[in-house]
Amino acid sequence: MKTRLNETLQIGILASGIIFLSIFISCTKNNKTPDHQSMNMEKNQADSTIVRSGIIDLETIDKNKDGKVYQDMMDWNVISDEPGKCPLCGMKLKEVALEEAKKNLIDSGYKVMEK
């Protein structure tokens, strides 16, 4: 009888332990969600220097002078000389010739520096 009682007690402790653990895990998960979102925000903010405004000087953006830049097909003013992602929509930047990037910008109403 004594042994059975101990077993019941152990199962009870184990069960309450599992319940406590699952509550603890779900709480931890809930707390982590905003952290994850703010991490993504920080990552996006780090790339925001490639969002161009005003009169866009493509030749300055093309630092390595290969005649090509990386441009976002959604946000035309997001241009970088290196491959990457758009900080606004997360789309992968497409490699385009300077002339093509310029045409895209002008067609969408952006101002481009003329030489």
Under the criterion CB under 5 A, does residue 76 sit at the interface with Zn ion? no
Under the criterion CB under 5 A, does residue 89 sit at the interface with Zn ion? yes
The distance of closest approach from Cβ of residue 86 to Zn ion in the complex, given in angstroms and rounded to an integer, is 3
DSSP state letters, 62-85 = -TT-SSEEEE-SSSTTBEESS--B
The distance of closest approach from Cβ of residue 89 to Zn ion in the complex, given in angstroms and rounded to an integer, is 3
Under the criterion CB under 5 A, does residue 75 sit at the interface with Zn ion? yes
Under the criterion CB under 5 A, does residue 74 sit at the interface with Zn ion? yes
C-alpha pair distances (Å), 96 with each of 35, 49, 50: 36, 19, 15
Under the criterion CB under 5 A, does residue 79 sit at the interface with Zn ion? no
Task: Please identify which residue in 86, 98, 101, 105 interacts with Zn ion, judged by CB under 5 A.
Answer: 86
Say which residue the tokens 């969408």 belong to: 108
User: Both tokens of residue 10?
Assistant: 């152990």
Residue nearest to Zn ion (CB): 86
Task: Please identify which residue in 52, 61, 72, 102 interacts with Zn ion, judged by CB under 5 A.
Answer: 72
Report the distance separating Cα 71 and Cα 36, nearest Å: 27
Q: Are strands 68-71 and 94-97 parallel, antiparallel or unpaired?
A: antiparallel
Site for Zn ion, rule CB under 5 A = 72, 74-75, 86, 88-89, 91
